[in-house]
Amino acid sequence: MTRPSQTDMAMPRRRRAVKRPPVFWVLLGFTLLVCAFLMVPVWMSMLAGVTQNYFTGWRGGFTLDWVVKVWTDYRHTVFMSLQIALACLACTLVLGVPAAYVLARRSNALTRTIEELLVMPVAVPGLATALALIVTYGGLGGLRRSWLFILIGHVLFTLPFMVRSVLAVLASIDLKTLEEGARSLGASFTQRFFGIVLPNCRSGILAGSLMVVTLSLGEFNMTLLLHTPLTPTLPVGLADAYASLRIEVGSAYTLVFFVIIIPLLVAMQWASRPRDRHSIS
């Protein structure tokens, strides 16, 4: 009696791996329906931004005039949002990375309490945080009329995401052993921090940075109270466009917003891949 070869034994396994149970297709179909339910209104809104008339739809023809109008009249809101987002990124890097390092090195009741306090601006409604900032710092010279006032609110809101992203990476490595090894070789604190800590949490810094930028660009609730007519951001301008102008202009504004935000979201997904492969290897 001949024994089956390894190739013959592997073929049924491959066939069984390819075959999907019926419940898989049911869940897949349900997932696609949920995605369509969420995405179709967004696509319809962006489609309205390139049509001649929203009420006649695509039968009335397509045009980029509304997009040009948005860029001509409201591009200052785009640049204001980008300026605040990049400044917010710089602040969260300077504050968040050292804070995550301290929380990772000294895990005790005090650091856990500090970590929970950092998350409070995320749990508190943005309008409440903005009102607290106005009451506390609104009377300080020209700060209320400056874009720096919006920046303060965005830093409070996005800092926990930077800290949590970096802290998750630092908690997954034996940071103490690495630092002790470098210290035994004569490395100073500065050399250890920039030569060991930062390279090892690079993926967390990158993921946190992209999250901070995208959240800052899209933040609306807090910015609605913090902004002034001199400091409108892209989401605030989008709300004003829908409230006071034709729906085609507001839809074109939405299209401009997605053109800016989607590449950042794609970059966030791409940036997470090296960390996954490294962890597997």
Instruction: Give the phi and the psi of residue 124 in degrees, each rounded to 5.
Output: -80, 135
pLDDT tens profile 181-207: 888 888 888 888 888 888 888 888 888
Q: At residue 12, does pLDDT exceed 60?
A: no
User: Which domains does the chain show, CATH number per domain?
Assistant: 6-48 (no CATH), 66-280 (1.10.3720.10)
Distance CA 74, CA 94 (A): 31
Position 252 scores a pLDDT of: 84
Instruction: Give the phi and the psi of residue 227 in degrees, each rounded to 5.
Output: -80, 165
pLDDT tens profile 96-119: 999 988 888 877 778 778 878 888
CA dihedral angle for residue 92, residue 95, residue 101, residue 102, rounded to 10 degrees = -140
| Cα→Cα distances 120→4, 131, 157, Å | 63, 15, 9
Position 139 scores a pLDDT of: 80
Greater model confidence, 56 or 194: 194
Q: How far apart are the first and last CA of the chain?
A: 42
For residue 105, give the nearest of 195, 166, 171, 192 by alpha carbon. 171
- Please give the average per-residue pLDDT across 19-25, as a whole number: 83
Q: At residue 94, does pLDDT exceed 90?
A: yes
Q: What is the percent of the chain where pLDDT is above 70?
A: 88
Q: Which two tokens stand for residue 280?
A: 């597997």
Position 153 scores a pLDDT of: 92
Q: At residue 237, does pLDDT exceed 70?
A: yes
**Which of 55-59, 162-166, 256-260 has the lowest average pLDDT?**
55-59
Give the distance, in angstroms, between the CA of residue 125 and the centroid of all CA atoms in the same chain: 18
For residue 77, give the nearest of 143, 150, 139 by alpha carbon. 150
